[in-house]
Amino acid sequence: MANIQVQGLFDQKQREFRTQGQGSTNFQSDFIEAVNLSIQQINVDANLATAVDEITNVEGTIGLDNRYRHVLTQGVSYYLIKLGQRKNNAQDTDEQRLWSAFTQGITAVFFDTINTAQANDTDDEVDIIGLGAMNPT
């Protein structure tokens, strides 16, 4: 599992959104808040075995597999818009579309987690998963 680099995500969002000078303090604080709101939503909705830790700056990594970067980036864009940031060049600003893409991505993370748990379940017992039973036969 390769974690998501915060600086790379920050650089991407700086290019995607209008910033008042490179590295605007306001944009940076909104970015951190948007990442943390996205992480909170992923933690709750994806029901991860280990919660992803929130960030405090634009350095380091986010403990989420890099293959889910597209999910996180949708959430960060959504929350940056909600926090008052504006995209460059009239790029997609449809909040409902961004929210829908983000929540669909979280659902994919959730089912991927369940599928991985099922694949790793090697005993011959019937397990309860969600509201149903999984029979390994």
pLDDT digits (tens, 9 = 90+) for 52-99: 999 999 999 999 989 999 999 999 999 999 998 988 876 666 888 899
Provide the CA 3 distance to its chain's centre, in angstroms: 12
What is the three-class DSSP state of 127?
strand
pTM of the model: 0.79
* Residue whose entry in the numeric block shows the structure tokens 């405090």: 56
Return the higher-pLDDT residue of 22 and 42: 42
Helical segments of 20-85, H only:
25-46, 69-82
Label residue 71 exposed, middle or buried (CB < 10 Å: 0-12, 13-18, 19+).
Answer: buried
What is the three-class DSSP state of 28?
helix
Can you give the pLDDT at residue 49? Answer: 77
Residues 6 or more apart whose Cβ sits within 8 Å of residue 30? 80, 83, 84, 85
